[in-house]
Amino acid sequence: MKHKIIIAGLIISGLFSSCQQFEDDYLEAPAQSTLDASVIFSTAGLAKGAIDGIKVPFAETNSYRGRFLPYYGLNTDVEWYATSQTAGDKADLCVYDTKPSNTEMNTTNNAYSMMFSGIERANICIKGLRQYGNPLPGTEMGQLLGEALTLRAIYYADLIKAWGDVPARFEPITSATLYLPKSSRDILYKQLITDLGEASTLVAWPNETAYTSTVEHINKAFVKAFRARLALVSSGFQQYPDGVRRSTDPELSVGNMYGLALRESREVIQSGAARLESTFEGLWRKYNEENTTAGGESLWELPFADGRGRMLFTFAVKHTAASDQFQANGANRGGVAGPLPFVFYDYDQADARRDVTCVPYKYGAAVNNIAKQELNTLDTWYFGKYRYEWMKRYVTSTNDDGVNKMYMRYAEVLLIAAETANELEGPGAAAPYLKEIRRRAFPAAAQAVKVDQYVNDITSKEAMLNAIVEENKFEFTGEMERKQALIRWNLLKVKLDLAKQKMTNLSARTGEYADIPTTLYYKYKADNVSLDIYGLNRGETTNPGALYSSATWTWTGTAADAKINSLYKPGVNPDNRQFWPIWQVFIDGSNNQLKNDYGY
């Protein structure tokens, strides 16, 4: 049964009331709770309720649910907001032209505020557990402290990912700390990496305990993998107020952080506590079926209740009808974003990830509650990783779908191991990890060429890194992890410009896309719902016969040019707009402590 993000009763709600108050005299007053913190954090059941309370801000209306997840990470070299060319504050969040006054974000209950609310809740729990809970490794209280430390790190990692430098808050708020300036993210990264190191000694491996039998609770495999991810990010390129560069802090050097990431990723791999799902489609079917059993590929999921969260509502294959045989989530659900038009054609035709990731159709109007698939135009593709039609539960809410956010999966651990092993030990050390990823992607008959020969032919560190960058693309398109990866590789603008050129070439059928067919042929399969499409693959140009209808598969003219150019706003350098600005309402309410950098 899916875990619910709820406050566990009025006792816990009262404990966290200080998170919502900002008057100086209240901040130092006793918590307005029917039970003292000494009781709550020395009693396992009550302490667990408090830890669940840390997760509440994830699901608030303008937090992860409706603002951060739907917008952060779009407009990369593989993903985009579907109406980027339509001027407005929604598009501005994606086209590297966000203003501090953005109307989608400039509210006091926005994701920026909710993340700090989650951090404050975590700070209260961490302090209480340390003071009253005796949280030792192998104990229930130790597990809860490790979870609190990790949840705080998640909130902070996402704050840094979206806003860069932010205030450092690692203790509950007092009147003296109500207003704080921004801290260097280097300080924050070092604290988070330290915290996750401690958490990894406290939490259990997946399925080691009943508590870690679900990926909706923190486990050791996730903590170590997440620590490895943060190590790579902290040592990578990113925009600082003085320019795009790596950190100058010697503790965050490539040697130190890649070494840490390699150790952590290898420990996860060697543990056997997580694994790739046997097929790529099986992974995503399991996800949409809301199977949260630990020990598979999903390491941790941001848990939404059935009536909360908008992963399919936002990103699924589009359903035009308000209700059909697969969903009753409202009209025009899904399809807010999708793969760039060329991504399908960059996959090897034998790669099983292609047809799961890139979908060229939507579900049309429902007749007697049955909707059929309908072809899109060449410029409109949807993320096939998110599908109402793969759910076991029939969504009836018209605002939310309740499907979790898969925050990190084992495939990333393998690619982290490949990247760091390549950097520190050479391409031969990276090869086994890259082969494991590709082995799942290709059928057995193709593996001698597509896996073994492909990887064995990579003999330099530079070539291996390039292959890993490409493999990340094929593995993670639609998961909105690409933007931060491009930033840390110092490839953001380079790859965005390449994507624009690729779209231009596809539109003109030149260069690498000269052999893409210009006509699709389609008919309905026996179920009279699913399309049988001919002409998507390169070289499929022969009319398959009278049973098929035809559709033009082109994308040209000023409309195409406008959409291509909207990947990032003309005249803007994405490398100078790697972050969102802190919203004006928080600048104005900061007692002159906060400011925006980067020319905002």
Please tell me the distance from the alpha carbon of residue 328 to that of residue 547, in angstroms, as a whole number: 33
Per-residue HEC secondary structure of 315-334 comes to HCCCECCCCCCCCCCCCCEC
Please tell me the distance from the alpha carbon of residue 103 to that of residue 107, in angstroms, as a whole number: 8
Of 242, 222, 151, 234, nearest to 188 by C-alpha is 234
Tally helices (H) and strands (E) across the chain. Answer: 24, 13
Please tell me the distance from the alpha carbon of residue 57 to that of residue 261, in angstroms, as a whole number: 29
Please state the domain extents for the chain: 311-403, 517-552
Q: Is pLDDT larger for residue 243 or for residue 3?
A: 243
State the pLDDT at residue 29: 34
pLDDT tens digits, 514-542: 999 999 999 999 999 999 999 999 999 99
pLDDT tens digits, 428-452: 999 999 999 999 999 999 999 999 9
Q: At what angle do helices 254-271 and 220-235 cross, to 10 degrees?
A: 160
pLDDT tens digits, 137-171: 999 999 999 999 999 999 999 999 999 999 999 99
Supply the DSSP string of 13-37, one letter for each residue: HHHGGGGG---HHHHTSPP--SS-H
- Report residue 58: phi and psi, to 5°: -55, -35
pLDDT tens digits, 344-391: 999 999 999 999 999 999 999 999 999 999 999 999 999 999 999 999
Least confident interval from 1-5, 60-64, 346-350, 374-378 = 1-5
- CB atoms < 10 A from the CB of 525, how many? 10
- At residue 419 the predicted structure's pLDDT band, cuts being 50, 70 and 90, is very high
Within 13 A of 507's CA, how many CA atoms are on the CB side? 20
State the pLDDT at residue 306: 86
Please tell me the distance from the alpha carbon of residue 321 to that of residue 212, in angstroms, as a whole number: 39
How large is the average pLDDT for residues 272-296? 98
Please report, rounded to a whole number, the percentage of residues in the chain having pLDDT higher than 70: 94
424 burial (CB, 10 Å; 0-12 / 13-18 / 19+) is middle
3-class DSSP state for residue 134? coil
Torsion over CA of 479, 483, 563 and 347, rounded to 10 degrees? -60
Q: Is pLDDT larger for residue 574 or for residue 7?
A: 574
Please tell me the distance from the alpha carbon of residue 76 to that of residue 500, in angstroms, as a whole number: 10
State the pLDDT at residue 35: 72
